[in-house]
A and B are shown apart, each in its own frame.
Chain A
Amino acid sequence: MLYQAWIIPILPLLGAAANAFLGARLGKRFVSLVACGTVGLASLGSAWVFADLTRLPAGERLVMLPMYQWIGTGDFQVNFALQIDPLSAVMLLVVSGVSFLIHVYSTGYMAEDRGYARYFTYLNLFVFSMLLLVTANNFLVLYVGWELVGLCSYLLIGFWYERKAAADAGKKAFIVNRVGDLGFALGVMLIFVTFGSLDYQDVFAGAPQMLAVGSVTATTITLLLFVGATGKSAQIPLYVWLPDAMEGPTPVSALIHAATMVTAGVYMVARTHALFELAPFSLSVVATIGAVTAFYAATIALVQTDIKRMLAYSTISQLGYMFLAVGVGAYAAGIFHLTTHAFFKALLFLGAGSVMHTLGGETNMLKMGGLRLKLPVTYWTFVVGALAISGFPGLSCFFSKDAILWQAFASPRGGMVLWAIGLATAALTAFYALRAVFLTFHGESRLTVEAEGHIHEPPSNMALPLALLAALAALGGYLGVPGILGGSDAFGSFLAPVFRGEAWMALETQAPANELGLMGLSVLAAFLGMGLAWYFYLARPEAPGVLARRFGGLYALLVNKYYVDEIYGGLVVQPLVALAHFLGERFEVTVIDGVVNGVGRTVAASGAWLRRLQTGFVRNYALSIFLGAVIVLGYFLFR
């Protein structure tokens, strides 16, 4: 199957084509069958590829799949080529597996929607784009996937385009991503100019010889690539599109946050680590932005009352963790957290979706409460997800977050500060995750009587993915149990051939006592956050209000998301809109229209004057012919 791995991305593409052209005619059963079937087959194929890959010796786990020559003009040679290596294989499994569960869930969630076929067309296209992105063998194919996920996110966020908020959110996502993509495109161009090739193998093998460590070129390339990553993976300063992306259907949010799209930036940085290793400054930028974003987004998540927005800021925060990891050279830990995050964040979103589904689209947590007994399946799966994201010992995020914190502390590129920010974020994470659980499922019911009557457990096609994801979120961490806890970090050592980073290797020799101590601290932080959430939202429900009044300024700052949207609006959006208005209403009307109308008027005026020649008297014409002949003759005679 290794050499047929190109089938995996093709399958969802075929599904998208079938649903686009036939879906509306052949009905919902056909659409769901095609959409889920193709992605299901893709995930089976990924599992097969993964199994085949593990059978190869560790050093030879790299399979190239050249498809055809794509562009060949002079020095610019690009093949359409895919590759399978441990990193691609892991990403394939995560993306296709989580996407499959989300597809199945969607068949229940979107069952009543008019745009059923359109929805699954976009969804399949999204999966295709992401699979293409993670299997690319050169930067141009990567770029194609990169842009396609941007397009699909636009289409899906604005899926309910009749609603202005959704259409605006789609546009915002697309435009903010374009800003990042510009940086990414420039980075790719600079790579071509520097290395004369876009193939991963050529670039990564040539990089150490052609670029000195810390050279300007290496730093520029990697910073440009990272600009792209901040756009796609929603980091400061380009994270603003992700919270608004909540306007799309909830399974789409799950897909964007868990399997596709936002993980692309982390994957890309991990994939190009050979370049980042040559630019220590860029790596420290990545780590710093990651840590700051993690903390910053977590503080906003503390006070959100909209469950989906809370989860969106949580995603930004968790992505910050991943960038912190790759920034300190702990690539495997970053990808590990990406994997566990895919499980528990998909679970949390789908859980939130099933709450919304039964409450008729309500997302305000202050209007929920007491759903624990009425929605036991949703409740228990959501609790698993919330505990996992909090870093509850034994659940998936405990292992991955600990790996990141430990490496942030111990790596030569890390340090106390990065680690401390990460630790504080861990406490905040536990607080907001449990807060969501308590507000939504515990306490007194704050539902309207009408909503109360409609409550029902999700149908089996929505409950089953929830249960599977809960199992993954709970147990996913055991893929990478660290040595200190008696495991062998199977995940890390599987990825090790891809990441030859020295930082990662150096950790093996560190004193183990430290690691246990730090682990204890982060567990302590998690329990502190959970305890506070319990105190504020179960034991003393009036306390949050008191606190909010006490620190009114800070509270307002957080509720208004640090006014970043307003600042961007004032600094970037308003001037551009004003410029567009000027061009549209002044420049266009006076200059452009003036030129066009002027040409027309000149022609009309000269025509009005010249048409007097057309007398209608044949003899006038004959005379002019005669005179013309005489003049021509005279010219030749007397010249």
Chain B
Amino acid sequence: MVPVSYYLILSGILFTIGTVGILVRRNALIIFMSIEVMLNAVNLTFLAAGRYLNSLDGQVIVFLVLTVAAAEVAVGLALIVAIFRSRGTTDVDEVNLLKW
């Protein structure tokens, strides 16, 4: 039996990877994938905690998160496609018109 702390540590590592990915990468698609990694890190925490506490609530929430994430992916990818069409790049530093 793997102790729950392992799951939490793995989840923390995944979340950190995602965060760093968002902060350091410029490609919108990579940033997007990093967000997904962060989401799944959180999902893992929920599952581990649910298993540890003998509760189904964690799994229920994970289903909810998956559903929302699916919708979010659809919208996000559509946005990235639209940006690419209009500006010919997916580099977020090139998309900086909204500023002072």
CA distance A623 to B97 in the complex (A): 19
Cβ-defined contact, A619 with B23, below 8 A: yes
The answer to the question of A612 belonging to the interface, with a C-beta cut-off of 8 Å to chain B, is yes
Report the minimal beta-carbon distance from A199 to chain B, rounded to whole angstroms: 70
Cβ-defined contact, A619 with B92, below 8 A: yes
Interface residues of B in 20-70 (CB under 8 A from A): 22-24, 26, 31
Cβ-defined contact, B97 with A616, below 8 A: yes
B92 is contacted by which of A611, A612, A614, A617 (Cβ under 8 Å)? A617
The answer to the question of B2 belonging to the interface, with a C-beta cut-off of 8 Å to chain A, is no
The interface residues of chain B lying within 8 Å CB-to-CB of A614 are 98-100
The interface residues of chain A lying within 8 Å CB-to-CB of B86 are none
CA distance A617 to B92 in the complex (A): 7
CA distance A622 to B35 in the complex (A): 11
The answer to the question of A56 belonging to the interface, with a C-beta cut-off of 8 Å to chain B, is no
Cβ-defined contact, B22 with A619, below 8 A: yes
Chain A residue nearest in CB terms to B95: A618
Chain A residue nearest in CB terms to B99: A616
The interface residues of chain A lying within 8 Å CB-to-CB of B24 are 619
CA distance A611 to B98 in the complex (A): 11
CA distance A619 to B93 in the complex (A): 8
CA distance A614 to B100 in the complex (A): 6
The answer to the question of A587 belonging to the interface, with a C-beta cut-off of 8 Å to chain B, is no
Chain B residue nearest in CB terms to A630: B19
Cβ-defined contact, A615 with B99, below 8 A: yes
Report the minimal beta-carbon distance from A621 to chain B, rounded to whole angstroms: 10
Cβ-defined contact, B96 with A622, below 8 A: no
The interface residues of chain A lying within 8 Å CB-to-CB of B93 are 617, 619
The answer to the question of A626 belonging to the interface, with a C-beta cut-off of 8 Å to chain B, is yes
Cβ-defined contact, A622 with B23, below 8 A: yes
A626 is contacted by which of B23, B96, B98 (Cβ under 8 Å)? B23
Cβ-defined contact, B100 with A626, below 8 A: no
With A611-B100, A612-B100, A614-B100 in contact, do A626 and B95 touch (Cβ < 8 Å)?
no
Classify chain A: how many residues form its interface, as a range. Answer: 10 to 19
Which of B19, B26, B100 has the most C-beta atoms of chain A within 10 angstroms of its own C-beta? B100
CA distance A463 to B29 in the complex (A): 99
Report the minimal beta-carbon distance from B90 to chain A, rounded to whole angstroms: 12
Cβ-defined contact, A618 with B23, below 8 A: no
Cβ-defined contact, A626 with B99, below 8 A: no
The interface residues of chain A lying within 8 Å CB-to-CB of B22 are 619, 622, 626
> How many residues of B are in contact with the other chain, CB < 8 A?
14
B74-97 Cβ-contact flags toward A at 8 Å (1 or 0)? 000000000000000000110111
CA distance A623 to B26 in the complex (A): 13
Chain A residue nearest in CB terms to B100: A611
Report the minimal beta-carbon distance from A165 to chain B, rounded to whole angstroms: 60
Report the minimal beta-carbon distance from A619 to chain B, rounded to whole angstroms: 6
Tell me what chain A mostly uses at the interface: helix, strand, loop, or mixed. helix
Chain B residue nearest in CB terms to A613: B100
The interface residues of chain B lying within 8 Å CB-to-CB of A626 are 19, 22-23
Report the minimal beta-carbon distance from A339 to chain B, rounded to whole angstroms: 81
The interface residues of chain B lying within 8 Å CB-to-CB of A616 are 96-100
With A623-B23, A626-B19 in contact, do A618 and B99 touch (Cβ < 8 Å)?
no
The interface residues of chain B lying within 8 Å CB-to-CB of A611 are 100
Report the minimal beta-carbon distance from A249 to chain B, rounded to whole angstroms: 66
A138-169 Cβ-contact flags toward B at 8 Å (1 or 0)? 00000000000000000000000000000000
A600-635 Cβ-contact flags toward B at 8 Å (1 or 0)? 000000000001101111110011001000000000
Cβ-defined contact, B100 with A617, below 8 A: no
CA distance A612 to B100 in the complex (A): 7
The interface residues of chain A lying within 8 Å CB-to-CB of B26 are 619
With A623-B23, A626-B19, A626-B23 in contact, do A618 and B92 touch (Cβ < 8 Å)?
yes
Chain B residue nearest in CB terms to A622: B22
Report the minimal beta-carbon distance from B92 to chain A, rounded to whole angstroms: 5
The interface residues of chain A lying within 8 Å CB-to-CB of B92 are 617-619
Chain B residue nearest in CB terms to A618: B92
CA distance A623 to B23 in the complex (A): 6
CA distance A611 to B100 in the complex (A): 6
CA distance A615 to B98 in the complex (A): 8
Report the minimal beta-carbon distance from B72 to chain A, rounded to whole angstroms: 16
Report the minimal beta-carbon distance from B80 to chain A, rounded to whole angstroms: 12
CA distance A232 to B97 in the complex (A): 71
The interface residues of chain B lying within 8 Å CB-to-CB of A617 are 92-93, 96
The interface residues of chain B lying within 8 Å CB-to-CB of A618 are 31, 92, 95-96
Report the minimal beta-carbon distance from A460 to chain B, rounded to whole angstroms: 82
Interface residues of A in 582-612 (CB under 8 A from B): 611-612
Chain B residue nearest in CB terms to A615: B99
Which of A612, A618, A623 has the most C-beta atoms of chain B within 10 angstroms of its own C-beta? A618
Which of A614, A617, A623 has the most C-beta atoms of chain B within 10 angstroms of its own C-beta? A617
The interface residues of chain A lying within 8 Å CB-to-CB of B19 are 626
Cβ-defined contact, B96 with A615, below 8 A: yes
The interface residues of chain B lying within 8 Å CB-to-CB of A619 are 22-24, 26, 92-93
Report the minimal beta-carbon distance from A625 to chain B, rounded to whole angstroms: 9
Chain A residue nearest in CB terms to B28: A618
CA distance A408 to B95 in the complex (A): 99
CA distance A334 to B22 in the complex (A): 98
CA distance A618 to B95 in the complex (A): 8
Chain A residue nearest in CB terms to B34: A622
CA distance A616 to B91 in the complex (A): 13
CA distance A611 to B19 in the complex (A): 26
Report the minimal beta-carbon distance from A115 to chain B, rounded to whole angstroms: 59
CA distance A59 to B71 in the complex (A): 93
23 A-B contacts (beta carbon < 8 Å): A612-B100, A614-B100, A615-B96, A616-B96, A616-B98, A616-B99, A616-B100, A617-B92, A617-B96, A618-B31, A618-B92, A618-B95, A618-B96, A619-B22, A619-B23, A619-B24, A619-B26, A619-B92, A622-B22, A622-B23, A626-B19, A626-B22, A626-B23
A residues whose Cβ falls under 8 Å from a Cβ of B: 611-612, 614-619, 622-623, 626
B residues whose Cβ falls under 8 Å from a Cβ of A: 19, 22-24, 26, 31, 92-93, 95-100
Beyond A618-B92, A626-B22, 18 additional contacts (C-beta under 8 Å) are: A611-B100, A612-B100, A614-B98, A615-B99, A616-B96, A616-B97, A616-B98, A616-B100, A617-B92, A617-B93, A618-B95, A618-B96, A619-B22, A619-B24, A619-B26, A619-B92, A622-B22, A623-B23
State the 5 A-B residue pairs at the shortest beta-carbon distance, nearest first: A616-B99, A616-B96, A611-B100, A618-B92, A614-B99
